[in-house]
Each structure stands twice: as C-alpha cells, then as structure tokens.
C-alpha cells in the first residue's frame, strides 16, 4: 500500500507558524486582513470564499467578503480593487474564480497591487516567478505541491520530476519553482505522445491537467511518488483528482484528492498573506515584528 | 559523418524575406532603422555592434551606432534610450553586452520601449514569452535555435527535446518557445547528476550553458541531433561551442560553432526589427505594407 501524502498534516505545521505571526502583528497594533471579491452565481467560487473565511477565523485573520451580483461590470470590480489597494487595513486581495462569462479574470487581476496579490496573479508577480528574482508573491497551488513533498521529507535537488500539465496557473509556474529546488524537470502535455515513457525515469510525477484518469496504474512504476494537483467534479457531485483510483496500489506514495494539494493550497495563501504584510511594511519603511 | 546544421543557409532565407520587406517599407516612405548603444572597452560588445552594422548595410537598414566612453553613467544611457524611444525614425533599439561593471544591464534594458525591444529584454517582452500571449518580441538566440531546426525540416511536435542550460537569455525562454512547438522538453542544468541519461530518450539536444565540452561523444547516441547555442572564447582567441569536437562522429546532425546558431541569431534580430515596425505601425493605427 502506498504512503498517503496528506495536505492536512502539512497544513497544520504552516498554520501553527501563521498563528504565531498573526499574534505578533496584533501585538504591534496591526490586524492582518484578507479581502476577497466574490461574483455571485458559481457554486465553486462561493465554496472557495467560504473555505478561506473558515480558515481566516481559525487563524485570527480578519476576512472581508465583498460580494457582487453576477451582472457586475469590470469597471465596478476595478474600482473596488483600487479602494482595497489603497486601504492600509487590507493586506491581501483575491478574486474568486470562475467568473461569469462577461468578465475577464486576467484584466481584473492585473489591477491588484502586487504587494497584496497573495495568489501571484498580477503581471509583476508572474514575471517574478518566471525570472526567479526571489521577490514577489508566488501562486499558491504550485507552492503547495512543493511544500507537500518537503513536509514528507523529499529532497528535490538532483531528482527527476515529470510534470504533466503546463497551464498558466499551476504547470508553468511550478516548472520554474522546481528549477529553484534544483530538480531536473520534464514537462508533458496533451501533445506528448507517450506519457508513460516519460514517467519511466521519474522519481516524482506531478499532475496538473484538470482531467480525471490522466495517470493510471498501467503508466507508472513502483518507486514513483505522485502529487495530484487536479480537482475535477464528477457528474455525481463528488471530487476527484487527475490520477486514477487504481494508482494507490501501483506507486510508492501519492497525494489524495480531496485531502492533498488542495488542502495545503489554502495554507499557502495565508502564508503569502504574511509575506504580503512584510512586503507592505518594507515598502513603507516600517518595522515588521 | 553527421549532417551539419549551418546557420548561414538558414539565415540567407530569412534575409531574402527581410530585403523584400525593407523595400516595401521604403516604397511607403519609411527607412527601417536600428540603433545600438555601445559602451566602449569590451572587444566582444564592439564585435557584435560591427557584425550588426555589416548586416544592416546589406539589408538596406539604417544603422545608428551610439558610442559611449566606458565611464558613461546609467542616467546618461537612460536619457539616450528615452530619446530613441521617442524618435519615430528609429524602429529597433539594442544595448550591446557585456557592459562595464558599474552598469547593470537589466536596469538599462528595462527602459527600452517594448515595441522597439528587438532582443526581447524588457520585462513586458519577457512576460510575453513566458505566458505565450503571442504578443511581443521574443529574444533572438532562442528563436534562432528553433528556426535552425525548422530550416532543416525538423518537426518538433511530439518530439523529446533535452535542453541543457536554464539561463534567462537562452535556456528559459527557449523552454517556453518549445512549448508552443508542442515538444516534450526536459531541462538539465549544473545540478543534474547525469546528463547522459537525460539524453538517452532525446531526439534533439539543445545546449546553452556557456562551457566547452558540456556534451561529449560518450554522452550521446547515434540518432541524436545537437543544436549548440554556446559561444566560448578559448585562451588562443578561437571560438568554440558547448559541444565537444568529438561529437561530430557520434550524432546524426549538429550545428557548428561558429557558423551555426550565432549566425542565425543576427538574422532573428533583423526579423524582429521587421516585426517591431509592424507593432509600431499598429500602435499608431498606421497601415503596414
């Protein structure tokens, strides 16, 4: 039976750190606060906002939910982001996805102040992850994939990592973060003719395609570790990852969905909120605790 | 004996296209012009500027060399770039490297107007290559590697490409351009323990490390094609690539240094100049020929 890489275990360690940092900020007279923009109409967006709210409450972080009817215009959202950018009592800003069809996520996200952009979606933060400047806030899901492996004691330097998926949200930024971990990375995608052969020499596979059964037991070897960053909703309403259920018997370790990467992603957002507070303090020349 | 992938053959095709385009622009009353900033003191920088000048003359492109003493300040260079950005008679701007130690290339390059940035060095163009927006001007050397392969009839879709090197100038942008060609790419680097094993399944290897003998005959297989993007100056003043001389007998095809990628890189800069003229015409709402 393969070892389970559980997001919850890893997240608890992160949350313990964050709680300490939140207390320090409060002693210094600052209430850490996260604002999220929710355009009504999509159950997934609403679910993500609620999940964050619950975690915020546990951590002592103030949570400001800004809800908008599904008919809201881009201009109205941009105006609210401008207000939140200028508000010194708000330290992190997120836009919940997916949005209604008449709104373009990238155009709205680009307006977020980079130092408050806790999911690394602005052009400045995208460039930072690609160029490895060491500055900026990196997207949460790619960070969660790496943090999960590190929590379970995996060394990435010199290891062969096969990434399946090259999306803008997970695959590509993760490729760059893995460079900084000194892994040797192969990137597979929909036009890769034989993904199984690309897994032969891999120590670790990370899947982020958004399609169930992208990796099955037949494609893997016993020594492989699989990190599953996919979240797919099935017809019966249940959630599954990109890896097939039969994988559990065929590999040495894997992250379950739900309960793996996704769980840790929320923790990474709040870790970014702490980093965002440091960045904002630095920008103002203020002392951080 | 391996097939030679010669930059000159590929470049001649590109230059023929550019000559036609230059004539069209001239008929429309516009003289295509390239400006290059040369800080004196480094023979390599001066050599690159002269090479461009020769090609510009052959193509009918106006070449404006702006030379500065090695004591020039960043402020002085930024002021000249500002002037060139505003000058409608200049369509491409380059800064010759290397620079004297007191100057930082990235800080100066960032000032170039993105639509005149024919080597893709500004933050806006870096972001464009990374996000695959399809907009923007891409760096010349990575484009040359792909153009060389295409000239010799290589299909990249579905092929295994092993990239050795992950620098900001060649390796990383090339990784992203290869995604758009639908190749399956593995990126090796100084911390990859066994590069030979990463070449086993490769159809094509592209080397861009800047170190002689990075790939030797012992590390390759007979069916491999090697594109060498390295340019190294040896103690005797001669130039060699990153691939060892013994490679020629061990692979199916390779690009020589000099005479391979480097030769085509200059052609890519002038192809970018033509693209830059289109971009600038679009920005002004003007008609392009």
Q: Which residues of B are annotated as a binding site?
A: 165-167, 231
Do both A98 and A147 map to the same domain?
no
CB contact under 8 A, A184 and B188: yes
Q: Phi and psi at residue B232, in whole multiples of 5°?
A: -125, 140
Please tell me the distance from the alpha carbon of residue A286 to that of residue B80, in angstroms, as a whole number: 36
Q: Are residues B162 and B210 in the same domain?
A: yes
**Residue percentage of chain A with pLDDT more than 90:** 91
Closest CA of chain B from A192, distance in Å:
5
For the residues of chain A, what is the DSSP string, one character each?
A: -PEE--HHHHHHHHHHHHHHHHHHHHHTT---EEEEEEETT-HHHHHHHHHHHHHHHHHT-EEEEEEE-TT--HHHHHHHHHHHHH-TT--EEEE-SPPPTTS-HHHHHTTS-GGG-TT--SHHHHHHHHHT-S-S---HHHHHHHHHHHHTT---TT-EEEEE---TTTHHHHHHHHHHTT-EEEEE-TT-S-HHHHHTT-SEEEE-SS-TTSB-GGG--TT-EEEE---EE-TTS-EE-SB-GGGGGTSSEE--SSSSHHHHHHHHHHHHHHHHHHHHHHHTTPPP-
Task: Note whether A192 contacts B201, CB cutoff 8 Å.
Answer: no
CA closest to A168 among chain B residues: B131
- Cα B209 to Cα A91, A188, A281, B180, B215, distances in angstroms: 41, 23, 39, 22, 10
Whether B130 sits inside 8 A of A172 (CB atoms) is yes
Evaluate whether residue A200 is within a structural domain: yes
Q: How far is A287 from chain B (nearest CA, A)?
A: 28
CATH number, domain of B53, equals 3.40.50.10860
Q: Indicate left, alpha or beta for B133 from its phi (over 0: left) and psi (-120 to 50: alpha).
A: alpha
Which residue is closest to B193 within chain A, CA to CA? A158
**pLDDT beyond 70 at B287:** no
Instruction: Please judge whether B184 and A179 are an interchain contact, meaning their C-beta atoms are less than 8 angstroms apart.
Output: no
Task: With beta carbons under 8 A apart, name residues in chain A contacting B123.
Answer: 127
What CA–CA distance (Å, rounded) separates A265 from B54?
54
Q: Please indicate whether, in this complex, the C-beta atoms of A186 and B185 are within 8 angstroms of each other.
A: yes
Does residue A174 form part of some domain?
Answer: yes
Q: In this structure, is residue B121 part of a structural domain?
A: no
Q: Residue B56 in contact with residue B62, Cβ under 8 Å?
A: yes
Over residues B271-284, mean pLDDT: 95
For the segment B196-219, the average pLDDT, to the nearest whole number, is 97
Overall average pLDDT of the B260-278 stretch: 97
Question: Helix B140-151 crosses helix B7-27 at what angle (to 10 degrees)?
Answer: 110
- For B141, the token pair is 């050397």
Co-location of B34 and B97 in the same domain:
yes
Q: What does the pLDDT look like over A124-163, one tens digit per residue?
A: 999 999 988 878 999 999 999 999 999 999 999 999 999 9
Range of the domain at A48: 28-113
Q: Of A224, A231, A228, which is closest to residue A249 (Cα–Cα)?
A: A224
Mean pLDDT (whole number) for B178-183? 97
Angle at A220 between CA A215 and CA A225, to 5 degrees: 90
Q: Which residues of B are annotated as a binding site for NADP(+)?
A: 165-167, 231
pLDDT of residue A138: 97
User: For residue A286, is pLDDT > 80?
Assistant: no
The answer to whether position A5 is within a domain reads: no
| Of residues B126, B179, B193, nearest to A166 (C-beta) | B179
Give the minimum alpha-carbon distance from A195 to chain B in angstroms, rounded to a whole number: 10
pLDDT value of position A132: 84
CA dist list (Å): A172 to A23, B132, B185, B206, B275 = 35, 11, 12, 20, 27
| pLDDT score of A54 | 97
Are B91 and B168 within one domain?
no
Task: Tell me which of A232-236, A276-280, B217-221 is least confident.
Answer: A232-236
Q: What is the pLDDT of residues B82-130, one digit of tens each?
A: 999 999 999 999 999 999 999 999 999 999 999 999 999 999 999 999 9
Residue of chain B whose alpha carbon sits nearest to that of A160: B192
Query: Is residue B159 located within the same domain as residue B256?
Result: yes
For residue B221, give both structure tokens: 């297989």
Strand B232-233, strand A160-164: pairing: unpaired
- Say whether both B100 and B38 belong to one domain: yes
Residue B134: per-residue pLDDT: 76
B148 and B223 assigned to the same domain: yes
Q: Is residue B244 part of a domain?
A: yes
> What CATH code is carried by the domain that includes residue A250?
3.40.50.720
Opening angle at CA A140, ends A182 and A52, nearest 5:
155
Structural domain contains residue A77: yes
Contacts of residue A173 in chain B, CB cutoff 8 Å? Answer: none
| 8 Å CB contact of A179 and B166 | yes
Contact A173, A139 (CB under 8 A): yes
Q: What is residue B256's predicted lDDT score, i.e. its pLDDT?
A: 96
Q: How far is CA A266 from the centre of its chain?
A: 7
For residues B182 and B249, state if they share a domain: yes
Contact A102, A96 (CB under 8 A): no
* Chain B residues within 8 Å of chain A (Cβ atoms): 123, 126-127, 130-131, 157-158, 166, 168, 172, 175-176, 179, 182, 184-189, 191-193, 197-198, 201
Please give the Cα distance from B142 to B182 (Å, whole number).
15
Does A165 count as an annotated binding residue?
Answer: yes
Q: Looking at residue A135, what is its pLDDT?
A: 82
- Residue B120 to residue B114: CA distance in whole angstroms: 8
Q: Is A271 exposed, middle or buried (0-12, 13-18, 19+ CB in 10 A)?
A: buried
Query: Is B197 close to A201, i.e. CB distance below 8 A?
Result: yes
Give the whole-angstrom CA distance, residue A33 versus residue A173: 26
pLDDT for residue A175 is more than 70 = yes
Mean pLDDT of A38-47: 92
- Answer yes or no: do B150 and B237 share one domain: yes
Q: Do residue A191 and residue B131 have CB atoms under 8 angstroms apart?
A: no
Q: Summarize the confidence of residues B282-287 as an average pLDDT.
A: 81
Residues A87 and A170 grouped into a single domain: no
Residue B131 lies in a domain: no
Chain A residues at the B interface, defined by Cβ less than 8 Å, are 123, 126-127, 130-131, 157-158, 166, 168, 172, 175-176, 179, 182, 184-189, 191-193, 197-198, 201
Q: Which of A184, A191, A203 to mutate to test the interface with B (most CBs of B within 10 A)?
A: A184
Mean pLDDT of B184-190: 98
**Residues of B in Cβ contact (< 8 Å) with A159:** none
Q: So what's the pLDDT on residue B83?
A: 98
**A182 to B191: CB separation less than 8 angstroms, yes or no:** yes
Q: Which residues of A touch B135 (CB under 8 A)?
A: none
- Chain A hits for B184, CB-CB cut-off 8 Å, are 186-189, 191-192, 198
Query: Among residues B225, B230, B264, B265, which one has the least CA distance to residue B248?
Result: B225
Contact B18, B271 (CB under 8 A): yes
**What contacts A187, CB < 8 A, 6 or more positions away?**
A163, A166, A171, A175, B175, B179, B184, B185, B186
B chain contacts of residue A198, beta-carbon cutoff 8 Å: 184
Q: How many CB atoms lie within 10 A of CB A69?
A: 10
Q: What is the DSSP string of chain B?
A: -PEE--HHHHHHHHHHHHHHHHHHHHHTT---EEEEEEETT-HHHHHHHHHHHHHHHHHT-EEEEEEE-TT--HHHHHHHHHHHHH-TT--EEEE-SPPPTTS-HHHHHTTS-GGG-TT--SHHHHHHHHHT-S-S---HHHHHHHHHHHHTT---TT-EEEEE---TTTHHHHHHHHHHTT-EEEEE-TT-S-HHHHHTT-SEEEE-SS-TTSB-GGG--TT-EEEE---EE-TTS-EE-SB-GGGGGTSSEE--SSSSHHHHHHHHHHHHHHHHHHHHHHHTTPPP-
Number of domains forming the structure of chain B: 2
What is the pLDDT of chain A when averaged over all its residues?
95
A176 inside domain? yes
CA distance B26 to chain A (A): 37
| B144/B237 same-domain check | yes
Q: A145 and A90 share a domain?
A: no
Examine the fold and report which residue of A113, A148, A177 is the final residue of a domain before the chain moves on. Answer: A113
The candidate with the shortest Cα–Cα distance to A139, out of A265, A9, A259, A255, is A265
Strand order in the sheet with B225-228: A3-4, A253-254, A225-228, A204-207, A160-164, A184-188, B184-188, B160-164, B204-207, B225-228, B253-254, B3-4
- Asked whether residue A287 carries a pLDDT value surpassing 70, the answer given is no
Residue contact B198–A185, C-beta within 8 A: no
Name the band, by pLDDT with cuts 50, 70 and 90, for residue A44: confident
ipTM: 0.94
Nearest chain A alpha carbon to B158: A192
Å from A139 to nearest chain B CA?
14
Encode pLDDT of B37-69 as tens digits.
999 998 889 999 999 999 999 999 999 999 999
């Amino acid at each position: 039976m393969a070892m389970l890489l559980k997001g919850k275990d890893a997240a608890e360690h992160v949350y313990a750190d964050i709680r300490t940092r939140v207390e320090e900020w409060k002693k210094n007279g600052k209430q850490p606060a996260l604002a999220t923009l929710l355009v009504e109409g999509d159950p997934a967006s609403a679910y993500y906002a609620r999940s964050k709210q619950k975690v915020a409450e546990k951590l002592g972080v103030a949570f400001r939910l800004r809800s908008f009817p599904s008919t809201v215009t881009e201009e109205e959202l941009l105006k609210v982001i401008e207000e939140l950018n200028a508000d010194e009592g708000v330290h992190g800003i997120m836009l919940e996805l997916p949005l209604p069809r008449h709104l373009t996520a990238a155009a709205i996200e680009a307006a977020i102040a980079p130092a408050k952009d806790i999911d690394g979606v602005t052009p400045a933060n995208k460039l930072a992850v690609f160029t490895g400047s060491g500055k900026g806030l990196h997207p949460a899901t790619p960070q969660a994939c790496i943090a999960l492996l590190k929590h379970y004691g995996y060394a990435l330097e010199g290891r062969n990592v096969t990434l399946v998926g090259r999306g803008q949200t997970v695959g590509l930024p993760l490729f760059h973060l893995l460079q900084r971990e000194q892994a040797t990375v192969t990137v597979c995608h929909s036009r890769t003719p034989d993904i199984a052969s690309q897994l032969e020499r891999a120590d670790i596979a990370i899947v982020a395609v958004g399609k169930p059964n992208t990796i099955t037991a037949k494609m893997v070897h016993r020594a492989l570790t699989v990190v599953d960053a996919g979240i797919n909703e099935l017809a019966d309403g249940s959630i599954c990852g990109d890896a097939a259920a039969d994988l559990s018997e065929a590999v040495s370790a894997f992250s379950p969905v739900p309960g793996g990467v996704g769980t840790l992603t929320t923790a990474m957002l709040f870790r970014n909120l702490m980093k965002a507070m440091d960045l904002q303090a630095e920008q103002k020349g203020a002392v951080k605790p």
